[in-house]
Amino acid sequence: MTQRIRKAVLPVAGLGTRFLPATKAIPKEMLTIVDRPVVQHVVDEARAAGIEHFIFVTGRNKAVIEDHFDMAYELDDTLAKRNKLKELEALKADLPLAGATSFTRQQAPLGLGHAVWCAREIVGDEPFALLLPDMLHYALSGKGCLAEMIDAYEKHGGNHIAVAPVPEDQTHQYGIVAVEDANAKVSRITGMVEKPPKGKAPSNLHVSGRYILQPTIFNLLANQEPGAGGEIQLTDSMVALSRLESFHAVRFDGEIYDTGSKIGFLTANIAYALDRNDLAPQLRAEIERLLDR
């Protein structure tokens, strides 16, 4: 019987240099997609999948993320006095339960693998989800990405990575997995490579920023030598772990938006807004007006 996935790690220590000067004082994870911060969308996905405890790996100047997932007494009081009950209830619905969030510091920018390792004491000896907050997974129907992964994990056990197809001429830009069946919803991973040379990728399935990992990964990360860019790379430790434990790829068939890039961020705002009945008609009209300008 597989151990239930209760905890999720969210690395939020990045500097967001691609969005300067906006991110000089505002964490990139708090930039909004319509009217919700990027990180809130990711937490929403995890909560829908049944995650109970959120572990944020932060850095300096990220305290506003902690504040966002806490009560705001003055704001709540003002909303109540102004009879803005709909807004007040929405804030309460987003609020995690008491004790359901933890924050730990990554004191130096040593890579994603190092950020994950920083969560080891809070995760403990149990499997966990890892969600990269830059990557929004927009389900076109059915369950969200992490919920699908947890279903696959409960059937197969081991470790799981969300993947999605990219054009063949772009595979050199991503982490790519080799699988037994590239067309299957869930398939055993037979290899992993970070940014393969053009024309050398084992498939067109890229790692999309969602993982379910066994706690064994922490021992490997503790001794992992720096890799690409002089950083502790998560992929290097996952390759080592794959020699000891099974890895499965879970294919996500929705839309993925890399909000760490300007185009991905802007596209996500449009896509999420067009999915809202209160915004879509007017936004479509404004887009058409701008395109005809």
pLDDT, residue 149, reads: 96
The number of distinct structural domains making up the chain is: 1
Q: Does any domain span residue 64?
A: yes
180 contacts: CB under 8 Å, gap ≥ 6: 187, 188, 190
Q: Does any domain span residue 2?
A: no
Average pLDDT over residues 226-245: 85
Q: Does the predicted TM-score (pTM) go above 0.75?
A: yes
Of 91-105, 181-195, 227-241, the poorest mean pLDDT is in 227-241
Q: Does any domain span residue 1?
A: no
pLDDT, residue 269, reads: 97
pLDDT, residue 57, reads: 96
pLDDT, residue 262, reads: 95
247-292 pLDDT per residue, tens:
999 999 999 999 999 999 999 999 999 999 999 999 999 999 999 9
Would you place residue 223 in the very low, low, confident or very high pLDDT band (cuts 50, 70, 90)? confident
Q: Is the peptide bond before 21 cis (omega within 30 degrees of 0)?
A: yes
6-33 pLDDT per residue, tens:
999 999 988 888 998 988 889 999 999 9
How far apart are the C-alpha atoms of 165 and 220, rounded to whole Å?
28
Average pLDDT over residues 120-130: 96
For residue 221, what are the domain limits?
Answer: 7-291
pLDDT, residue 257, reads: 96
Q: Does any domain span residue 149?
A: yes
Q: Does any domain span residue 68?
A: yes
CATH number, domain containing residue 267: 3.90.550.10
SS3 for 88-153, per residue? Answer: HHHHHHHCCCCCCEEEEECCCCCCHHHHHHCCHHHHCCCCEEEECCCEEEECCCCCCHHHHHHHHH
pLDDT greater than 90 at residue 53: yes
Q: Does any domain span residue 55?
A: yes
Tell me how many helices (H) and strands (E) the chain has: 11, 13
Assigned token pair, 40: 């809130």
Q: What is the mean pLDDT of the chain?
A: 92
